[in-house]
Amino acid sequence: MVKLYMVFPDFFFQVFVQPPAALAVVILIIKFVPEICHTEDFLFNLAVKIKVISLAKQLFFQKELVEAGCDEAGRGCLAGPVVAAAVILPKGFHKYLVDDSKALNHKQRLVAAKMIKKRAVAWAVSVVDNETIDKINILKASIAAMHLAIHQLTKTPGLLVIDGNYFVKYPGISHKCIVGGDAIIASIAAASIIAKTYRDALMVEMHEEYPQYGWDHNKGYGTLFHRKAISEHGLSPYHRRTFSPVSDYIQMEIFQE
């Protein structure tokens, strides 16, 4: 297994879980046609054909209308923006590579995001910064980000499928809210992956500016390390002032004055 791991591309083992029969197929392919094993398209098609993974339960909510899945990332963070994505998948798209972004590790999300962007009919991502979040609240900011992403799509969908239980109607397009939709509908799962990978990259950039908060690892979430860093170093311009414990820190500073 160690030798096989060294020969075959690392991300294949990160993305695909091999049952014995599937692993046998992989071994045969490596042995007889190793030159084609280094292409992502080949790996994707192989995973589909041998059904190594099958994560999202269904491709679309319905079949009559062009459908865009929408989801956001970063809603519960103490710092940074909220990011939303909208994705229209083609009818022939295989759902085996996508799942709720939270169920995938970093390498899996990067590979999946690349596949989604390559095969999607249309996709778009939008960002609402922390200052706007503080002004209008995180729920309104999340919905605003979704609206912005939908507006940027190069193809107009006939239906929006939204992860969650609440959404403000986008002009001229019907929508359906689905609780836990990122684990059910492939287009929502795809949107969650696009939003998450885009936001993660933004937080790594912000980490370069403010490395004391560990955003390259916690991505702005309220980990113990992050909370301790706030206590030791104070706040950055990217922190959400209306979020506890950030707001608690501000009140404490005012009280001490």
Model confidence at 202: pLDDT above 90: yes
> pLDDT band at 245, cuts 50/70/90?
confident
**Do residues 114 and 80 touch, judged by C-beta distance below 8 A?**
no
Model confidence at 162: pLDDT above 50: yes
Q: Share the mean pLDDT of the chain.
A: 81
What does the pLDDT look like over 191-200, one tens digit per residue?
999 999 999 9
Read off the pLDDT of each residue in 232-244 and give the average, rounded to a whole number: 95
Of 80, 68, 105, 17, nearest to 190 by C-alpha is 68
> pLDDT band at 29, cuts 50/70/90?
low
CA distance 45 to 115: 11
Model confidence at 22: pLDDT above 70: no
pTM attached to this predicted model: 0.78
Q: Residue 99: what pLDDT?
A: 56
Model confidence at 17: pLDDT above 90: no
Q: Which of 13-22, 153-162, 220-229 has the lowest average pLDDT?
A: 13-22
SS (H, E, C) 152-212: HCCCCCCEEEEECCCCCCCCCCEEEEECCHHHCEHHHHHHHHHHHHHHHHHHHHHHHHCHH
Q: Residue 14: what pLDDT?
A: 39
Q: Residue 100: what pLDDT?
A: 55
The most confident of the ranges 19-28, 86-95, 135-144 is 135-144
Model confidence at 26: pLDDT above 80: no
Read off the pLDDT of each residue in 99-126 and give the average, rounded to a whole number: 84
Q: Residue 227: what pLDDT?
A: 95
Model confidence at 37: pLDDT above 50: no
**Do residues 210 and 65 touch, judged by C-beta distance below 8 A?**
no
